[in-house]
Amino acid sequence: MSNESTQANSLLPANIAALAAYSSAKSEKLSGTTWLNANESPYAKTIQMSIEDLNRYPDPQPQLVIDRYAAYAELESENVLMTRGADEGIELLVRTYCESAKDSIALFLPTYGMYKVTADTHNVAINALTQALLLNGSVDEIVDAVGSSKLVFICNPNNPTGSLTPLDKVTAIATALADKALVIVDEAYIEFCPEQSATKLINQFSNVVVLRTLSKAFALAGLRTGFTLAQAATLAPIRKVIAPYPVSGVVASIAAQAIAPDAITSMRRQVIILNTLKAKLVQWLSESPAVLKILTGEGNFVTLKLADKNYFKIALEQGLVMRAFTLYGENDWLRISIGSEQELKQVKIWLDGLAVPTASAISAQQEVS
């Protein structure tokens, strides 16, 4: 290590020096021809662009986008904050509402990794709870386990398991934690089960915050656009903390087109198609001896346990890129994004080509030996 690197590292706070960065799907630097690893939409958008005022700073919160998203979420414009992806919403909530080296956030593991990375970055402790507690525990048990945590993150549907916490349970948790903690419902995948959205709780609860994104069903992962939804008083301190110009004019122009009424109708049609393709994929997986367990759940992905983790390497050799996971202490899990019909056919080809020995074949081999 050079002297310059040593000197730079000596300036780092201990929590940053020890930080393990979040490993995104794209950071794995895999190569392939069929990409089903990042829960992206297979539908590319055609955007009309005419930007002539890039010499000027943009509107910090572009009014047309705010108004259109408020209408889509059935809220008022004062309930909407536009961010650079839902990830910025996570960061703003931790930075605004948590005191470094004092507060904690509660997570239900396994879940989205950026909650922990963000908390670690700000020297905020992790209260690591389980999805089993969230789904099967009583509200009293959950609240007791949350303890004094300032923020409670519920990824709903949950990534990577797809599990869904019923809205009435979210309501009960928010009620029990009133004036004690913010209940943050991350709805990155809610368009695939919109009836379960917690946005309808916002007018009732000042401690409910909903995170949204245009990266999944809206097919704009490359735009990095998200929204934080809450009561105006809950958003007010966050507005003090957010960067002065978080949204570029180009992003605002594209986002406004993406959430226009006709575009929302198109998105909903695409969701129906993707949910139908997902059902077909689940059927193929359930019929394959290469798959030991399937976590179907909600969202544009399926997470499964392989009979042999080497099957993932075979997929990569075929140009099929999916997301390998370590879940429940086991490194033979795989998450498959719901792509186009043609992309999912590549999954079927991979599944059909896996050589899984049957019980009769094993018995015959033992007899020969």
pLDDT computed for residue 250 by the predictor: 93
Cβ atoms of 122 and 150 within 8 Å: the answer is no
Residues whose CB is less than 8 angstroms from the CB of residue 175 and which lie 6 or more positions away in sequence, other chains included = 205
Give the Cα separation of 247 and 62 in Å (integer).
8
Continuous segment of H or E residues that includes residue 328:
none
Query: What is the fold, at CATH topology level, of the domain defined by 13-40+264-352?
Result: Aspartate Aminotransferase, domain 1 (3.90.1150)
Comparing CA positions, the residue from 277, 267, 282 lying closest to residue 215 is 267
**pLDDT tens-digit series, residues 182-225:** 999 999 999 999 999 999 999 999 999 999 999 999 999 999 99
Helix ranges restricted to H, 185-309: 232-241, 249-258, 261-286
Instruction: Tell me whether domains 13-40+264-352 and 63-259 share a fold.
Output: no
Comparing CA positions, the residue from 344, 343, 334, 340 lying closest to residue 302 is 334
Output the DSSP codes for 96-150. Answer: HH--TTT-EEEEEES--THHHHHHHHTT-EEEEEEHHHHHHS-HHHHHHHHTT-S
Residue 209 identity: V
What are the residue boundaries of the structural domains of the chain, listed by start? Answer: 13-40+264-352, 63-259
Cβ atoms of 162 and 143 within 8 Å: the answer is no
Q: Which residue has the tokens 């300036």?
A: 11
Asked if residue 150 has pLDDT above 80, the reply is yes
Cβ atoms of 267 and 316 within 8 Å: the answer is no
Angle among Cα 188, 191, 196 to the nearest 5 degrees reads 90
**pLDDT tens-digit series, residues 23-57:** 554 445 566 899 999 999 999 988 887 777 888 99
* Multiple choice CATH, 63-259, 3.40.50.300, 1.10.10.10, 3.40.50.280, 3.40.640.10: 3.40.640.10
pLDDT computed for residue 8 by the predictor: 56
Asked if residue 358 has pLDDT above 70, the reply is no
| Residue 15 phi, psi dihedral angles, 5° rounding | -65, -30
